[in-house]
């Protein structure tokens, strides 16, 4: 195929030397190594990434033609706790202090949410926003520290949003 480097993104890799001093390569291995290293030494390497992001193709420009080198992604095993990172959750029920450990539905117009980033949680109590740092996360537990929240008040002391928030925040502070 003709060179299409302007249509694709490119990267620059600074390769100043190789460490093949004591390596014994077969002729075929030496040829492959030479092609790969010359590809990396180009001023700019055009590349494409497959839609499923499992294959990276580097294009070596040779005499105006693109010579592809296809690399496959090495799968990284996901740890069980890493599955939470980048997820968002909405509570469907909470155990309130006065409910004898019975799950009660979340107030319909005041959803309780929880979002995980790599080292933080954040969300809404239905009224206020909260946040905290994840100081430890394993496949069995996670620990949240430095919990804080906004402080929007209620006109009535028996406002059901207050009970919902108190129940939710007690989970974060005690958990």
pLDDT digits (tens, 9 = 90+) for 12-28: 776 666 565 556 778 88
- Calpha distance 59→56 (Å, rounded): 10
Residue 153 has pLDDT above 90, yes or no: no
- List, in sequence order, every residue forming a beta bridge with 113; answer none if it has no partner: 90
Q: What is the largest CA-CA distance in the chain?
A: 83
How many other CB atoms are there within 10 angstroms of residue 110's CB atom? 14
The pTM (predicted TM-score) of the whole model is: 0.56
- In sequence order, the 6+-apart residues with CB closer than 8 A to the CB of 121 are 114, 115, 130, 131, 132, 134, 144, 172
Share the mean pLDDT of the chain.
82
Record the tokens describing residue 135, joined without a space.
């100081």
pLDDT band for 69, please (50, 70, 90 cuts): confident
% of the chain beyond a pLDDT of 70: 83
Provide the CB-side half-sphere exposure for 33 (13 A, CA).
12
Per-residue pLDDT, 107: 93
Residue 164 has pLDDT above 80, yes or no: yes
pLDDT digits (tens, 9 = 90+) for 80-118: 778 888 999 999 998 887 778 889 899 999 999 999 998
Q: Looking at residues 130-143, what average pLDDT do you find?
A: 86
Inter-CA distances, 5 with 2, 9, 62, Å: 9, 8, 12
């Amino acid at each position: 195929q003709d060179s299409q480097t302007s249509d694709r993104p490119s990267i620059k890799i600074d390769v100043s030397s190789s460490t093949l001093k004591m390596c014994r390569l077969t002729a075929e291995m030496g040829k492959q190594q030479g092609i790969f290293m010359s590809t990396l030494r180009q001023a700019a390497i055009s590349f494409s990434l497959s839609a499923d992001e499992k294959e990276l193709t580097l294009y070596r420009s040779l005499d105006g033609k693109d010579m592809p080198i296809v690399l496959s992604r090495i799968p990284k095993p996901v740890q069980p706790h890493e599955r939470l990172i980048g997820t968002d959750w909405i509570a469907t029920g909470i155990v309130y202090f006065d409910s004898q450990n019975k799950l009660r539905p979340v107030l319909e117009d005041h959803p309780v949410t929880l979002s995980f980033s790599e080292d933080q949680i954040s969300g809404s109590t239905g009224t206020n926003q909260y946040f905290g740092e994840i100081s430890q996360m394993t496949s069995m537990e996670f620990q949240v520290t430095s919990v804080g929240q906004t402080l929007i008040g209620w006109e009535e002391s028996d406002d059901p949003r207050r009970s919902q928030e108190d129940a939710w925040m007690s989970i974060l502070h005690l958990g």
